[in-house]
Amino acid sequence: MQTFIPQPLCPGDEVRLVSPSGAIDPAYVDAARQRLSGWGYRPVESRYARSAHGRFAGTDNERAADLQAALDDPHVRCILCTRGGYGLMRILDRLDFRALLRQPKWVVGFSDITALHAVLSRQGVVSVHGGMARALAELPPEASSVVLLRDVLAGQRPSYMLPPHAANRPGTAEGLLIGGNLSLLAALRGTPYEPPYAGNILFIEDVGESPYRIDRLLRTLRLGGVFRQLAGLVVGSFTGTDPDPLMPVTLEQQILDAVDNPSLPVCFGFPAGHVDDNRPLLLGHPARLEVTDAGGMLEFR
């Protein structure tokens, strides 16, 4: 499959702020615009970026129209999704990606934006699993996740060295990095929009799921044969999870028990997900994962 990597952003490039999922506090949009302007870019809001329709940032038609306009507009060099929440799956089948394939552009976001990343990975378009408007609004400019996001959009390829983790499973893997939010990945199983698992490296994270629900999500992937297809697995942050004394094993052991591929390298503790230290990841980009007793290494090639 051909890989389409967007061109690095240059001063003056347009960054379109789009809200394809949940409604967002307008103050975060204002602050994100200020941060992007400080980086030298030209932030432009989509028509319904500040809208609210129940839990959504506008109706399905409005959100789909905003995202489609950003995908189609040749002047837009980057689409920054303002927040996750829920809502992207409701509009996936309305979107046309032909213009994006002709002129790839950066798409940035995480959480519910996983659904969009999955489609882009299927299309061969590299996208950024990274911070959105709230992170740009609240984190200091020197925060690692903020600096790294700025550098990635400017064309740098990050290389991450991780400390040892007792649950790591050693090994080496090469393939496209895919994935994102575990709940969304499980929800996309059996649809035309799930990412290409075979021979690739999967990243997973989640927030606010109880341990038994995490186990069910993992078993959904296992029963679908996902773990047997992978070249490697990277585990990010699982936050907002209350302890469950009725679950007999740790989260790490739940994951290892679900992986029915004993030779699969597994790297725990990657700093990405619903945390401030949400390091940007290039989804759909060729990557190399190496896990040893000394720790883990993830680099983009």
Active site residues: 111, 205, 274
Please say whether the beta carbons of 77 and 42 come within 8 A: no
Give the list of residues 6+ apart from residue 191 with CB closer than 8 angstroms, or none.
none
Please say whether the beta carbons of 17 and 32 come within 8 A: yes
Q: In what order do the strands lie in the sheet with 281-283?
A: 42-45, 14-18, 76-81, 106-109, 127-129, 281-283
Q: How far apart are CA 140 and CA 44, in angstroms?
A: 22
Please say whether the beta carbons of 129 and 281 come within 8 A: yes
Q: How far apart are CA 78 and CA 104, in angstroms?
A: 9
Q: How far apart are CA 61 and CA 287, in angstroms?
A: 36
Phi, psi of 220 (to 5 degrees): -60, -45
Please say whether the beta carbons of 58 and 24 come within 8 A: no
What is the residue whose two structure tokens read 């007793």? Answer: 293
